[in-house]
């Protein structure tokens, strides 16, 4: 008789997950993930729970000279928002701080007959989590960033097709400093209990 045999626990995987923290752009250096590593990270993102298999997300890598173009967009968006020239230049440099940025773009089907909108957003979040965990497993650091730029017309127009929404950017690179907890999280027993 053949049947399902549970896999052995992956203690190394769990240990790695418990050691992952976000690493900000100013603590990231070269090398950025290679295209092969980026595709492995995306493969992990595609393993996130995804009701109806819609893949309600995509990514756009910004590296090398593309960071300068993104900086131009950030500066333009800042000026359009009424920031002064100095603050707009600061916004421009946010595109240059990390070796790589990865735009996270959601494509939510609001009329899907099976997968509700909130399930699709959960799939986007699960994909992002898996991507960041894979980056950590491959030896990279990263962090998700958003802010007002994700709604700025010139930035949105550069990344989104009709029906898409810019969620933010993952900054990626090699951590020059280990990540550390930013918030005090509760004991696991405070957020999980029997019903």
Q: What are phi and psi of 94, to 5 degrees?
A: -65, -25
What pLDDT is recorded for position 12? 84
pLDDT, averaged across the chain: 93
HSE (side-chain half, CA atoms, 13 Å) at 58: 9
With contact defined as beta carbons under 8 Å apart, do 175 and 138 qualify?
A: no
pLDDT of res. 178: 83
Distance CA 131, CA 109 (A): 22
> What's the pLDDT tens digit per position in 43-69?
999 999 999 999 999 999 999 999 999
Q: Is the distance from CB of 156 to CB of 73 less than 8 angstroms?
A: no
Whole-model pTM over 0.85: yes
Q: What is the pLDDT of residue 3?
A: 60
Give the DSSP per-residue string, 5-57: -PPPP-HHHHHHHHT-----GGGEESPPPPHHHHHHHHHHHTTS--GGG---E
Taking 50 as the pLDDT cut, the residues of the chain under it are 1
């Amino acid at each position: 008789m053949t049947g399902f045999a549970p896999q052995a626990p992956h203690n190394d995987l769990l240990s790695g997950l418990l050691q992952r923290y976000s690493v900000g752009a100013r603590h990231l250096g070269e090398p950025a993930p290679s295209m092969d590593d980026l595709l492995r990270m995306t493969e992990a993102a595609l393993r996130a729970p995804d009701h109806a298999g819609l893949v309600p997300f995509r990514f756009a890598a910004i590296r090398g000279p593309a960071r300068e173009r993104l900086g131009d967009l950030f500066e333009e968006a800042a000026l359009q928002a009424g920031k002064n020239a100095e603050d707009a230049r600061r916004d421009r440099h946010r595109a240059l701080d990390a070796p790589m940025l990865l735009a996270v773009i959601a494509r939510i089907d609001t009329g899907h007959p099976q997968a509700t909108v909130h399930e699709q957003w959960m799939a986007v979040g699960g994909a992002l989590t898996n991507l960041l965990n894979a980056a950590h497993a491959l030896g990279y650091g990263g962090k998700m960033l958003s802010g007002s730029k994700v709604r700025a017309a010139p930035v949105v127009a550069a990344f989104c097709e009709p029906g898409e929404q810019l969620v933010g950017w993952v900054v990626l690179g090699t951590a020059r400093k280990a990540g550390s907890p930013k918030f005090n999280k509760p004991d696991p027993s405070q957020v999980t209990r029997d019903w």
